Amino acid sequence: MAYLRVVFFGGIFLGNAIPHFVSGTMGRAFQSPFAHPPGKGLSSALVNVGWGAFNIVVGYVLVFRVGTFDIRDTLQAVVSGAGFLLIGTLSARLFGPFHGGDMKGLQEPS
């Protein structure tokens, strides 16, 4: 069961890699822990590519090297997917207000 925690956190790191790496490769600034203030200010595209790559490496190590992840093991797949979904949901809630994704004040199309 301890391995499931590792897989869960691996899913978090892999999910966290996506917005940073994609924003960086698109040449866009995005929030990162290195911005001022952390999580609110923007970091350069290059910083985000590096941070995304770091998250990919850590996620890979946690999911595939710490133990023997088997995608056919439903429990392992669900637990890693839960970590992936959790960080995606938290990111949407935290960063939505900065990028217009919170939908507050927006009118529905008529």
- How long a stretch of residues is the chain? 110
Task: With respect to residue 19, please indicate whether it lies within any of the assigned structural domains.
Answer: yes
Task: With respect to residue 87, please indicate whether it lies within any of the assigned structural domains.
Answer: yes
Q: How many domains does the chain have?
A: 1
Residue 53's identity, in one-letter code, is: A
C-beta atoms surrounding 10 within 10 Å? 25
Residue 54's pLDDT is: 98
Q: What domain range is 23 assigned to?
A: 2-96
Task: With respect to residue 108, please indicate whether it lies within any of the assigned structural domains.
Answer: no
Residue 109's pLDDT is: 55
Residue 105's pLDDT is: 56
Residues whose CB falls within 8 Å of the CB of residue 69, separated by 6 or more in sequence, listed in order: 7, 10, 63, 76, 80
For tokens 């990111």, what's the residue?
Answer: 91
Task: With respect to residue 107, please indicate whether it lies within any of the assigned structural domains.
Answer: no
Task: With respect to residue 42, please indicate whether it lies within any of the assigned structural domains.
Answer: yes
Between CA 39 and CA 45 the distance in angstroms is 15
For tokens 């935290």, what's the residue?
Answer: 94
User: Mean pLDDT of successive 10-residue segments in the chain (110 residues)?
Assistant: 91 96 95 87 95 97 89 94 96 82 60
CB 8 within 8 A of CB 80: yes
